[in-house]
Structure 1
């Protein structure tokens, strides 16, 4: 499974299929794809200025192992752009794509029904929780027990932390100062190969900034309505 698939699986409530941090989900999904490309050595993130943030450039050649990654890479290869721009460009249309992939894999299922005989509602509850349970076990081992993460787990935790969704995972992690500190260390790229850690840190920072801006916009709209 791709990192973006694991990330969405973790964010979805097992009973309702409602994602945590739904308003900022496109940024997290786009970030997951950027991170996977960075871990494959197919994008480079150079530090930009304060206005534009880190710039992402496509590097390397040859086909990628998954069409979702290939489509994102081809978009990046068109021209270098900031992480913030690419998060929404790549992640904006990923919800439907990744949901369908998770359904096809048997990780979640689609349930549709009518409410009051009029309105059709759709839920996306878990279908097979084995893979997700293992993901949560490994994440908890890293954050709570202090286990050393593999690069993939570190990247997933960094994305969850950057998006602000980590405290909302179900079942809840026993949140503490040590857990928060460890998550922030991984979010800042303090692990693994320097180039990959830097790419993850810059992507997580962009997700955090985009999520904060989106949340502020929602609050402003609510207050002024």
Structure 2
């Protein structure tokens, strides 16, 4: 399977030189939302209103996605549905770790460790195969800057980047003003079935609310 949406968001957030995650909190929410979106597109999860429901548990064949299915099933605790925001909050940190592990397994990033103040271990994930992120940035630029029509997955990716305010990571050479209107247009466009677009709107709202709250708490 091609690189997942969550892996693409993670690649955009990793500094090419240091291997550290930029905008870690916001990127984490977007990664968790991207995993959930992939499960929606794969027909394993449905989202209606502010709630998510597990609809199928058969493996998709993608380990990053399949690892979330039993976790969601356990988290639901016999209920038919729970809030999207609650799942994103629960899976944000673990989802980042699982996504980095998946990228390492693909050989796209490496892993090094150093100690902060000589005591606290800190992992870095330097680029190992730059062709993947270069192709990703070219795809995003073609759609957002050059006006090409996005496919379903690219539109979903842009919607998540937009809601998590990751514009600078996706388009480091451009101001938010230069890309914001086009990204909003794509997020609201007729690029997928209504059920998928409704799910994206709810995840956008959830990611945006959490991101704004996180920024406010640390400012």
Give the shorter-chain TM-score range: 0.7 to 0.9
Residue 76 of structure 1 deviates from its aligned partner by 3.1
Contact 1:189 1:198 in 2 (8 A): no
Structure 1 regions of 5+ residues with no counterpart?
A: 48-53, 220-225
SS at match of 1:96: helix
Question: 2:70 maps to what in 1?
Answer: 74
Deviates more, 1:139-148 or 1:181-190: 181-190
Q: Deviations over 1:61-100 (max 9, x none)?
A: 5332223322323333433111110112222312222222
SS at match of 1:93: helix
Aligned positions of 1:53-202 closer than 5 A: 54-77=50-73, 78=76, 79=79, 80-113=81-114, 118=118, 122-169=123-170, 172-175=172-175, 177=177, 179-188=179-188, 190-202=190-202
CA 1:33 to 1:17, structure 2 compared with 1: closer, same or farther past 3 Å? same
Structure 2 regions of 5+ residues with no counterpart?
A: none
In the alignment, the residues of structure 2 paired with residue 68 and residue 159 of structure 1 have an alpha-carbon distance, to the nearest angstrom, of 18
In the alignment, the residues of structure 2 paired with residue 58 and residue 189 of structure 1 have an alpha-carbon distance, to the nearest angstrom, of 26
Question: 1:33 maps to what in 2?
Answer: 35
Question: 1:209 maps to what in 2?
Answer: 209
In the alignment, the residues of structure 1 paired with residue 113 and residue 100 of structure 2 have an alpha-carbon distance, to the nearest angstrom, of 15
Determine which structure has more spread, i.e. the larger CA radius of gyration. Answer: 1
CA 1:59 to 1:129, structure 2 compared with 1: closer, same or farther past 3 Å? same
Over aligned residue pairs, what C-alpha RMSD do you find? 2.2
Deviates more, 1:178-187 or 1:147-156: 178-187
In the alignment, the residues of structure 2 paired with residue 22 and residue 201 of structure 1 have an alpha-carbon distance, to the nearest angstrom, of 22
- What TM-score do the two structures reach when normalised by structure 2? 0.86
CA 1:195 to 1:140, structure 2 compared with 1: closer, same or farther past 3 Å? same
Residue 208 of structure 1 deviates from its aligned partner by 0.8
SS at match of 2:157: helix
Deviates more, 1:64-73 or 1:195-204: 64-73
In the alignment, the residues of structure 1 paired with residue 193 and residue 116 of structure 2 have an alpha-carbon distance, to the nearest angstrom, of 51
SS at match of 2:110: coil
Residue 114 of structure 1 deviates from its aligned partner by 6.1
